[in-house]
Amino acid sequence: MVDIVLKIITIALKTIVFLSVLIVGHEFGHFLVARLFGVWVEEFGLGLPPRALGKKFGETLFSLNFLPVGGFVKLHGETGGEEIRYPDRAFVNKGKIPRILVSLAGVVANFILALIAFAIVYSFIGVPRETGNVRIVDVTTSTPAQMAGLLVGDVVKTVDGQKVDSTKSFISLIESKKGKRTIIEVERTSKDFVETLKVTLTPREAPPEGEGPLGVAINSTETYFAPIWQRPFVGAWYGAGEAVKTSKAVVLGLFGIAGQVSKGQMPSGTVGPFGIAILIEYVWRLGPIPLLNFLGVVSINLAIINLVPFPPLDGSRVLFIGIETLFGKKILPKAESIIYMAGMILLMILILLITAREIPKAFKAGSINNFVESIVK
């Protein structure tokens, strides 16, 4: 029993540390841009009230709060419904552009954090790059490739005389040759000797699942390590590309979730606080590089989710400013507070429903590994 309690405490502490990095990064974005536009940041809080500790630096109170979920920056005059002691330093009295930039600063900070994480990761593990050579990396037994004598390490040069310089071109050519006798020219290196061979085979028309017409696995990339001084820049560039891909996947996922919710269905493929804690524990065990990569992925998720125009997410502030621009007047402070509160309640209900589904699923899985596999399927 003691071991179980200690394990739960350990997982909880790891989760708090991991999420704190994301939250501090996000809120620090709001903090910096608010200060840039002369908005008084009354408090920078990690966790949610009630307050545990607090110390004032300059004009801002930095606090640590008892509820270890989320964080916040309290801007002076955040809504028109509160007492405003310094009108010229109140958020609500700033122009539309400054308010939009302050609102979106947390999102930008999360993208920057993800970019930094990916830059570090790819500086250590290298980046994949195309070589122009399609190399055979695996040959399945009792397949046309194996029976024709193709070997791991062979580089495919041509298929029936047509040049092969990418996995895409190789797959396309082989698909067009199904059921036909085909000549494949390969380059084979044995010690320091390189020879060119031609093999004749017939790609299968109906291969077993996962094998392909020939029964080979191929690769046309290599891991590239730039000179040490260039690695952060090369890593950042490649990381930016990965960030774009991840962002697209997150956006598509959100559209899928919205579609399910609109039909009254519980969203599938979503992860709540409990599932996130288990994922963090799983990745933490893999080491610092996978953990840092996961931090980048989650940071992008957090950024895009905050763009959703649903209270109390950052996107809702931009939406309200848009409504203000359209109708020429601000939303009543009381109405704004009610909308934010209603949104918060709905989000909490959704989180509770997802968590209620996750906990039985975790017990049924029987282990962290099995639970993670059930999430990523």
Q: What string of DSSP letters covers 317-354?
A: HHHHHHHHHHHSSPPPHHHHHHHHHHHHHHHHHHHHHH
Neighbours of 283 (CB within 10 A): 20
One digit per residue, pLDDT tens: the chain, 377 residues?
677 778 888 988 898 889 999 999 999 999 999 999 999 999 999 888 889 999 999 999 999 998 777 788 999 988 766 678 889 999 988 999 999 999 999 999 999 999 899 889 988 999 988 888 999 999 999 999 999 999 999 999 999 999 999 999 999 999 999 999 999 999 998 877 889 999 999 999 988 888 899 999 999 998 888 888 888 888 888 888 877 887 777 777 666 766 666 666 656 666 777 888 888 999 999 999 999 999 998 898 889 989 988 888 899 989 989 988 888 887 777 777 788 888 888 888 877 887 787 778 777 776 777 766 766 55
103/146 same-domain check: no
The C-alpha atoms of residue 314 and residue 310 are separated, in whole angstroms, by: 8
Q: Are residues 167 and 281 in the same domain?
A: no
Question: Among residues 224, 240, 264, which one ends one of the domains?
Answer: 224
Helix (H) or strand (E) holding 112: helix 96-125
**Residue 215, beta-bridge partner list:** none
Do 77 and 26 share a domain, yes or no?
yes
d(CA 56, CA 48): 17
CATH classification of the domain holding 137: 2.30.42.10
3-class secondary structure, 213: coil
115 and 152 belong to one structural domain: no
Last residue of a domain, one of 224, 252, 285: 224
Would the pTM count as exceeding 0.85? Answer: no
Query: Residue 181 sits in which domain range?
Result: 127-224
Q: What is the largest CA-CA distance in the chain?
A: 85
Domain edge (last residue) among 224, 245, 260: 224
What total of structural domains would you count in the chain? 2
Same domain, 34 and 96: yes
Q: Do 103 and 8 fall within a single domain?
A: yes
Residue 134 shares a structural domain with residue 253: no
Span 201-256, pLDDT tens digits? 999 998 888 889 999 999 999 888 888 888 888 888 888 887 788 777 777 766 67
Residues 75 and 149 in one domain: no
Residue 167 near residue 128 (C-beta atoms within 8 A): no
Residues 132 and 203 in one domain: yes
Residues 248 and 367 in one domain: yes
Do 117 and 145 belong to one domain?
Answer: no
Same domain, 51 and 61: yes
